[in-house]
Amino acid sequence: MQITVVGGGSWGTAFSCLLRDRGHRVTLACRDAHQVRAIEETGRNPRYLTTANLRGVDAAVIDDAPYDVDVIVLAVPSRAFADVAASLPGTAPVLSLTKGLDPATGQRLSTRVTGRPVAVLSGPNMAEELAEGLPSAAVIASEDRALADELQHAINSIVFRVYVNEDLVGVELCAAAKNVIALAAGGVDGLGLGDNAKASVITRGLVEMARLGEAFGAQPETFSGLAGMGDLIVTCFSGYGRNRRAGDLIARGHSADEAAAEIGQVVEGLTTAPVLRDLSHRAGVELPITEGVCSVLAGEDLQGLLGRLMGRRPTEE
């Protein structure tokens, strides 16, 4: 297949390598000409995953990239997703790798793609490990089953096992919510509260994710699968997890902006948390961990929040 990957960050870089290794002709579309020249001259991305070998991947500035292709892969931040999707020429199907919600509307990102088929890929997929050729698995969700099956066949390999999941709503909500729970898990790390506390936050966070999904008609089994539990676990425990690292730094006294600056890449949970909270309010769903994360981002002391959460009235699980 001929595929254009829009977004020259870590995930776009790693996914381009994965597609190239499957034998596809890949163009990595980046924001600026310097990044493109460096990839063409050195076979390396000068900014992200700098050790990943991009030989065999074409590079182009976004405006000059080919879009009369078999698939366009979007690996851009959630805040830019709608504008990028709206500006795409042609009618090629879109595969979204972005994990978040549209900050302007609170909508799932796939709903911001119009006039063309769309699918979403999600799962426990740390870009750094994929770039090293380490094994992983993912799900592809779409309302167009033929597209999902075609993409599964095109991407699945001995190191990247791909499943099809028909629950597009659940997969997208998992992808957004797990980053917010990872901020809380990182806060547990930063405060040194131990593994029991972290496991408790992750488990109750999964309950929040499933509760929200149920309100929007998602399938319960999605939340115990790769897009739910799988992605949540790796995001909360991996040393590469940006959201976990941001939560850790914030718990140690950094502001959200300082944490994001130190990490040097997009931390989607910081954008998603208030959007997810507002979505839950509209749906009448209680998300105490998400509410707590938003309170801390707004300036509440993390120790005070911990006491408030632990002091809530005991209920049935």
Tens digit of each residue's pLDDT, the chain (317 residues): 999 999 999 999 999 999 999 999 999 999 999 999 999 999 999 999 999 999 999 999 999 999 999 999 999 999 999 999 999 999 999 999 999 999 999 999 999 999 999 999 999 999 999 999 999 999 999 999 999 999 999 999 999 999 999 999 999 999 999 999 999 999 999 999 999 999 999 999 999 999 999 999 999 999 999 999 999 999 999 999 999 999 999 999 999 999 999 999 999 999 999 999 999 999 999 999 999 999 999 988 777 777 777 777 777 77
pLDDT of residue 308: 73
Neighbours of 136 (CB within 10 A): 18
CA distance linking residue 81 with residue 268, whole number of Å: 12
Q: Does 178 qualify as catalytic in the annotation? A: yes
Catalytic residue of the set 99, 112, 178, 198: 178
What values do phi and psi take at 121, rounded to 5? -110, 135
The angle that helices 268-283 and 288-297 make with each other, rounded to 10 degrees, is: 130
Bridge partners (DSSP) listed for residue 73: 5, 95
Number of C-alpha atoms within 13 angstroms, CB side, residue 254?
A: 17
Q: What angle do CA 238, 244, 246 make, to 5 degrees?
A: 135
CA distance linking residue 237 with residue 245, whole number of Å: 10
pLDDT of residue 54: 96
pLDDT of residue 311: 73
CA distance linking residue 165 with residue 223, whole number of Å: 12
What values do phi and psi take at 115, rounded to 5? 80, 10
pLDDT of residue 121: 98
pTM above 0.85, yes or no: yes
pLDDT of residue 275: 97
Tell me whether strands 71-74 and 58-61 are parallel, antiparallel or unpaired.
unpaired
Number of C-alpha atoms within 13 angstroms, CB side, residue 271?
A: 21
* Positions of E strands within the chain: 2-6, 25-30, 58-61, 71-74, 94-96, 118-122, 136-142, 160-165
pLDDT of residue 155: 98
